[in-house]
C-alpha cells in the first residue's frame, strides 16, 4: 500500500514482541524510529552544491511523511515517557506533548543538514470531540436516532402486513441493532469508552474464546453485567417472541 502511494522508503516497528517499543496504529511514532530516518537524510543530502536549479533551490527535494498515531484515541503514551493521565483531555494533551518531543529531534536533523531555508513543513493533527457529553451526543445518540427511525418504519409496515415473515425478521434485526446502540450508550456512560462494532466480528469467528473473555470481565464487574445484559435480554426476548408468534393466514 505504501509503495502504491509513491513512497520508496518505509519504516515501522515490526517486532511486535519488543517490550521496549511503543506501538501505535502504524508503529511509526516510537522514538527508536528517529535513527533510520536520520540515517536516510544523511545518506542522500538534500543540498548538493553541484546540483542547483536556476532559482537557487535544491535540485533534489524530498517528501517526508511522519505518521504520529499516538494522538489518536485512546491517547496512550509509553510508560517510560510519563505516567499515563486519567482524563480524556489530559491524555490528549499528554499525547500532543509526546508528539512534540518526538518530532523535535527530527526537525533538528533537517536543520543540521541545511534544508530549513527551503523546507515546507505541514503538520496535521487528528482532532475530535473530547469528553463524555460530546462523545455521547456526537456519536451514540445519532446512531440510536437513525436506528429507531428505521424501527418505527418497520413496525408500521409490520402492522400493515403482519403475515410477511421477511418484514417481521427485518423488524427483529433492527431491534437487535437498536439494542446494541442502547448497550453502547450504557457502556459509554459507565466506562467513558465506546464499544466499537468491530468487537462483534470475533463473536462469529471464534465464539468460544469471545464468550470466555466476556464471562471473565462480567464476573469482575457485576454492575456492568446487570446494566448491559438485563435490558438487552428483555428486549431480545420480546422481539424474538413477536417473531415466533403464529402468522395469520394470508
- Do 58 and 144 share a domain, yes or no? no
For 238, the grid coordinates are 420480546
**Segment-wise mean pLDDT, segments of 10 residues, the chain, 250 residues:** 76 61 60 75 54 50 73 78 81 82 66 53 57 48 60 67 63 63 58 50 46 50 55 62 57
Q: How many domains does the chain have?
A: 2
- Do 102 and 172 share a domain, yes or no? no
Q: What would you measure as the largest C-alpha separation in the chain, in angstroms? A: 90
Domain stops at, among 55, 85, 118: 118
- Do 66 and 9 share a domain, yes or no? yes
Residue 69 lies in a domain: yes
- Do 228 and 184 share a domain, yes or no? yes
pLDDT of residue 105: 63
- Do 162 and 216 share a domain, yes or no? yes
For 247, the grid coordinates are 402468522
**Cα–Cα dist 103/66, whole Å:** 9
Burial class of residue 94 (count of CB atoms within 10 Å of its CB; 0-12, 13-18, 19+): buried
pLDDT of residue 75: 79
pLDDT of residue 39: 74
pLDDT of residue 200: 46
Residue 24 lies in a domain: yes
pLDDT of residue 24: 55
pLDDT of residue 240: 63
CB-CB contact of 65 with 28 (8 Å): no
- Do 142 and 108 share a domain, yes or no? no
Q: What is the domain extent for residue 154?
A: 132-244
Cross-strand pairs, 58: 52
DSSP SS3 for 52: strand
pLDDT of residue 148: 63
Residue 83 lies in a domain: yes
pLDDT of residue 210: 46
Count of residues making up the chain: 250
Amino acid at each position: 500500500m505504501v509503495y502504491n502511494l509513491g513512497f520508496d522508503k518505509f519504516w515501522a516497528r515490526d517486532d511486535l514482541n519488543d517490550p521496549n517499543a511503543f506501538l501505535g496504529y502504524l508503529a511509526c511514532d516510537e522514538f527508536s524510529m528517529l535513527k533510520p530516518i536520520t540515517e536516510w537524510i544523511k545518506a542522500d543530502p538534500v543540498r548538493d552544491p553541484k546540483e542547483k536549479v536556476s532559482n537557487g533551490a535544491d535540485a533534489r527535494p524530498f517528501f517526508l511523511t511522519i505518521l504520529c498515531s499516538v494522538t489518536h484515541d485512546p491517547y496512550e503514551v509509553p510508560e517510560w515517557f510519563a505516567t499515563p493521565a486519567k482524563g480524556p483531555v489530559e491524555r490528549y494533551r499528554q499525547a500532543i506533548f509526546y508528539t512534540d518531543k518526538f518530532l523535535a529531534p527530527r526537525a533538528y536533523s533537517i536543520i543540521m543538514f541545511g534544508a530549513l531555508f527551503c523546507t515546507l513543513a505541514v503538520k496535521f493533527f487528528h482532532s475530535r470531540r473530547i469528553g463524555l457529553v460530546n462523545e455521547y451526543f456526537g456519536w451514540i445518540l445519532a446512531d440510536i436516532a437513525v436506528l429507531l427511525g428505521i424501527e418505527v418504519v418497520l413496525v408500521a409496515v409490520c402492522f400493515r402486513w403482519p403475515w410477511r415473515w421477511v418484514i417481521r425478521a427485518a423488524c427483529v434485526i433492527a431491534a437487535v441493532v437498536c439494542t446494541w446502540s442502547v448497550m453502547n450508550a450504557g457502556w459509554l456512560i459507565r466506562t467513558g469508552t465506546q464499544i466499537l462494532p468491530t468487537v462483534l466480528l470475533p463473536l462469529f469467528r471464534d465464539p468460544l474464546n469471545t464468550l470466555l473473555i466476556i464471562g471473565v470481565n462480567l464476573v469482575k464487574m457485576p454492575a456492568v453485567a446487570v446494566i448491559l445484559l438485563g435490558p438487552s435480554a428483555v428486549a431480545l426476548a420480546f422481539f424474538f417472541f413477536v417473531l415466533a408468534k403464529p402468522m395469520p393466514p394470508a
